[in-house]
A and B are shown apart, each in its own frame.
Chain A
């Protein structure tokens, strides 16, 4: 579970990266809405994809990266695309349209997040009216995801060093136990983090800063 891909390209510089974030966010949301309503035709689809391709190139995002990210929705797409036409009442058209809308949306999402720094992302969300507490939680998730993943990898290695590939029951028990230890470590770490926050003047809602 390599996690470096989370940030891999978002801290770089390019005309797309450097677009002012509020405008970028509105454009992004606008596009998503557009995809939901757009009439799906070959021409429009080609236009969308061409536009996205240009933006990706300007932002210097490698195609392999994009393809790897696309893999995420692939199972879902395949499921729907083949599932729908197999049953009466549905047609290839519905499947094709769904594919078109979903594909454009995902690509735009990938473009947006791979050209925007996470802190700026949080800023945008904050400006969109998302409550401060959720922004704080998002901040923590982002930061501690890497810490926890590292700990999980260490645990997995330790288990792998001792265990032989066993039956499902044992695998599940092992994984569950690891998660149990991980949640406890998380709890204990959160206590220390709170202490660290106290040492730096945190005393509650009012005094804590949510903006940069």
Chain B
């Protein structure tokens, strides 16, 4: 994808990451996410999806460049990293404070906001995830859907430029999943979603990157990519249900 470097929120260039035991996880990958774009990353287990997100956030030490709004992201770029809102697969990994308020406040406090500003940031973040008034609750009293939304709130409170979500619909019941999809759909912020929930990506993504074995094998619009049965099969994926009826496999006539 040429051009648009000035508007790219996140950019990874020729990024390679090798596990301590020598196996390559990411091999010379490059991609970017522009302002307001919603990009998906799909691929079988072990393809490197989560690793790609970790690399984008500067949480692992790989070779290559990561840029956020044009600025290079290093291990110690604390302020810059706060522009990336990483939502972990398991909310318990990022809800580590006794109350919801303290969890959502953690980021703003580290950014040096005053108490009044922090309070405001928390309130706004809770409103953005449609859980106003949840400040005093404790995480262990929340349902999985609520936890997921609070987890999102903990990074939203830092006013990020892009949300990165790792398998966001894991462990969500259908109603919570629907809520989440609606919530993400309403956000104007750029998003990068890695996962197996192809239906979600069909609904939300402008563009999808297909990953296998640490490299991007294909890129395109989700409904085009996911309907390609041969491509999906080659990459150990299945065509999602909603696309199956419209995929003429062996039929020579139309309904």
A and B: interacting chains: yes
Binding site for B on A (CB under 8 A): 7, 11, 117-119, 122, 139-140, 142-144, 146-147, 189, 192-193, 195-203, 207-209, 212
Contact partners of B154 in chain A: CB under 8 A:
200
Binding site for A on B (CB under 8 A): 54, 57, 59, 76, 78-79, 81-82, 84-86, 88, 90, 92-99, 101-102, 105-107, 109-111, 136, 138-141, 154-155, 158
Offer 26 A-B interface pairs, CB within 8 angstroms, sorted by A. Answer: A11-B138, A118-B98, A139-B97, A140-B96, A143-B98, A144-B96, A189-B93, A192-B90, A193-B94, A196-B86, A196-B88, A196-B93, A196-B94, A197-B96, A198-B78, A198-B81, A199-B85, A199-B94, A200-B82, A200-B158, A201-B78, A201-B79, A201-B82, A202-B110, A209-B105, A212-B105
What CA separation (Å) do A209 and B110 show in the bound complex?
7
Q: Is the CB–CB distance between A201 and B98 below 8 Å? A: no
Q: Is the CB–CB distance between A212 and B101 below 8 Å? A: yes
Q: Is the CB–CB distance between B102 and A212 below 8 Å? A: yes
Q: Is the CB–CB distance between A189 and B109 below 8 Å? A: no
Q: Give A196 Cβ to nearest chain B Cβ, in Å.
A: 4
Q: Is the CB–CB distance between B57 and A209 below 8 Å? A: no
What CA separation (Å) do A98 and B59 show in the bound complex?
56
Contact partners of B106 in chain A: CB under 8 A:
197, 200-202, 209
What CA separation (Å) do A139 and B98 show in the bound complex?
6
What CA separation (Å) do A176 and B25 show in the bound complex?
34
Q: Give B41 Cβ to nearest chain A Cβ, in Å.
A: 18
Q: Is the CB–CB distance between A199 and B86 below 8 Å? A: yes
Q: Is the CB–CB distance between A201 and B110 below 8 Å? A: yes
Q: What 10 A-B pairs have minimum CB-CB distances, sorted nearest first?
A: A201-B110, A196-B94, A146-B140, A200-B107, A192-B93, A209-B109, A203-B78, A199-B86, A195-B59, A147-B92
What CA separation (Å) do A208 and B105 show in the bound complex?
11
Contact partners of A202 in chain B: CB under 8 A:
106, 110
Q: Is the CB–CB distance between A142 and B98 below 8 Å? A: yes
Q: Give A67 Cβ to nearest chain B Cβ, in Å.
A: 25
Q: Is the CB–CB distance between B140 and A147 below 8 Å? A: yes
Q: Is the CB–CB distance between A200 and B155 below 8 Å? A: yes
Q: Is the CB–CB distance between A196 and B96 below 8 Å? A: yes
Contact partners of B98 in chain A: CB under 8 A:
118-119, 122, 139, 142-143
What CA separation (Å) do A78 and B141 show in the bound complex?
36
What CA separation (Å) do A203 and B111 show in the bound complex?
11
Given the interface pairs A198-B81, A201-B158, A212-B105, the reply to whether A7 lies near B138 with Cβ below 8 Å is yes
Contact partners of A189 in chain B: CB under 8 A:
92-93
Q: Is the CB–CB distance between A198 and B59 below 8 Å? A: yes
Contact partners of A11 in chain B: CB under 8 A:
136, 138
